[in-house]
Amino acid sequence: MNDYYADLGVSRDASAEDIKRAYRRAARKLHPDVNPGPEAEEQFKKVSQAYDVLSDPEKRRAFDMGADPYASGAPGFGQGFSFSDIMDAFFGAGAGAGAGRGPRPRRQRGQDGLVRQDIDLETAVFGGEEDLVIDTAVLCATCNGDGAQQGTGRRTCDICGGRGETQHVQRSFLGQVMTTRPCQACHGFGDIITHPCYDCSGDGRVRQRRTMRFRVPAGVDTGTRIQLQGEGEIGPGGGHPGDLYVEVRVRPHDIYTRRGDDLHATITVPMTAAALGATLTLETFDGIQDLDLRAGTQPGETTTLRGLGVTHLRGTGRGDIIVHIDVRTPTRLDQTQEDLLRQLAAARGEERPTGKLAPADTGLFGKLRDAFKTR
């Protein structure tokens, strides 16, 4: 009869922790990857067989009473010795494949969703509420998420016995290694719905289109994502819903172009208004505003309306409205208009205008070059 205590190098009153510690030391020393050779391999099998017996309270009790679990039939190394036992010996309980998993619950959290919503620029400026239409998973009203027809229940899976997992023996260089996999019959749940709900087929949820209103904060821009907690898909088995993320896209505006939190607009004025000055009206999101155009305004100049732009998303205050002035020169003149312009030109001494040419290289590098020339 084998002496498993001697094989493992422990006393007969050794604790479970002492046995595990002794096996860990021996396995590291005798493992075929570390100590190749037939003698080391045979010794590794002996200590592994000893650990299999002494780490199991029932087998150890039987051995102490004079029975050897490996004495009859000469089963090979590894019978009843699972891969999780090896992992537990090295890394502690719960490290083995499938350790402590058991059947998985039918109620699970739903997935998060992502949708895109177009909004007007005015909504981005001030914020507001929008209607959103989505196709998503909702709780099955027939079974209320249970998945079974009313009045029916579930039965324990015959294949896994309610554990939700099955064990499979594989051969490896260590011998026979036992692995754990989810049960294919019950899909890991441990039980089987005998009469699934007709509407959801046992899933506890159905696909449905629903409409909801959500709040758009002021200052959002294209690409901003708004999180709506608990508005995502209902989970399988009627589990808690996930979150819904709404990605905003701001529609183009007829007048304004957004740059950051500023709004830009271009206004075209006649040449006479630019020369004489004028007061114009501009339509903004805050109503009609007066825009004072000073006399002698040049093409490309800008004027600013403070605090009438987009609300800052993070912080207080708003951006500005920046108006770009485009001066339009008349192209079709009748005789009277042409005569008047000629009289104006004569009065200003501009009958034969001479253009003023600016140096082409008056920038930074041109100024540096001129500075070196004067030295």
366 inside domain: no
User: For residue 68, what is the domain's CATH number?
Assistant: 1.10.287.110
Largest CA distance in the chain: 131
| Same domain as 309, residue 278 | yes
Give the span between the Cα atoms of 196 and 269, in whole angstroms: 73
Give the span between the Cα atoms of 72 and 69, in whole angstroms: 7
Q: What Cα–Cα distance (Å) separates residue 373 from each residue in 50, 126, 360, 364, 368? A: 96, 57, 17, 14, 9
Q: What Cα–Cα distance (Å) separates residue 212 from each residue in 33, 121, 176, 232? A: 62, 21, 58, 12
| Same domain as 178, residue 136 | no
| Same domain as 210, residue 327 | no
| Banded model confidence at residue 318, pLDDT cuts 50, 70, 90 | very high
pLDDT in tens, 121-166: 999 999 999 999 999 999 999 999 999 998 888 899 888 888 888 8
Surface-to-core class of residue 203, CB atoms within 10 Å of its CB (0-12 exposed, 13-18 middle, 19+ buried): buried
How many domains does the chain contain in total? 4
| Same domain as 269, residue 341 | yes
| Same domain as 124, residue 238 | yes
| Same domain as 175, residue 37 | no
> What share of residues in the chain are helix, strand, coil (percent, to 5)?
25, 30, 45
User: Looking up tokens 């709506």, which residue turns up?
Assistant: 228
| Per-residue confidence (pLDDT) for residue 316, from 0 to 100 | 87
| Same domain as 31, residue 82 | yes
Token duo for residue 101: 């998993």
Give the span between the Cα atoms of 353 and 355, in whole angstroms: 6
| Same domain as 9, residue 81 | yes
User: For residue 272, what is the domain's CATH number?
Assistant: 2.60.260.20
Task: Find the range with the poorest average confidence among 11-25, 59-73, 290-304.
Answer: 59-73
Surface-to-core class of residue 323, CB atoms within 10 Å of its CB (0-12 exposed, 13-18 middle, 19+ buried): buried
* 181 Cβ neighbours under 8 A, 6+ residues apart: 98, 165, 166, 167, 168
Region 56-73 average pLDDT: 70
| Same domain as 158, residue 131 | no
Average pLDDT, the chain: 83
83 inside domain: yes
Give the span between the Cα atoms of 255 and 159, in whole angstroms: 70
Determine the structural domain holding residue 29 and report its residue range.
4-91
| Consecutive H or E run containing 20 | helix 16-30
Task: Find the range with the poorest average confidence among 108-122, 184-198, 320-334, 357-371.
Answer: 357-371
| Per-residue confidence (pLDDT) for residue 91, from 0 to 100 | 45
What's the one-letter identity of residue 371? A
373 inside domain: no
- Would you say 63 and 69 are in contact if contact means Cβ atoms under 8 Å apart? yes
Task: Find the range with the poorest average confidence among 23-37, 45-59, 258-272, 297-311.
Answer: 23-37
16 inside domain: yes
| Per-residue confidence (pLDDT) for residue 14, from 0 to 100 | 86
| Same domain as 161, residue 50 | no
Q: At what angle do helices 16-30 and 38-54 cross, to 10 degrees?
A: 170
| Same domain as 139, residue 20 | no
375 inside domain: no
Give the span between the Cα atoms of 82 and 369, in whole angstroms: 84
98 inside domain: no
Radius of gyration for the alpha carbons in the chain, expressed in angstroms and rounded: 42
Instruction: Tell me the whole-structure pTM to 2 decimals.
Output: 0.62
353 inside domain: no
User: In the listed set 228, 252, 276, which residue is the last one of a domain according to the structure?
Assistant: 252
Q: Is the pLDDT of residue 259 over 50?
A: yes
Give bridge partners of residue 175 from the DSSP assignment: 172
| Banded model confidence at residue 71, pLDDT cuts 50, 70, 90 | low
| Same domain as 239, residue 188 | no
357 inside domain: no
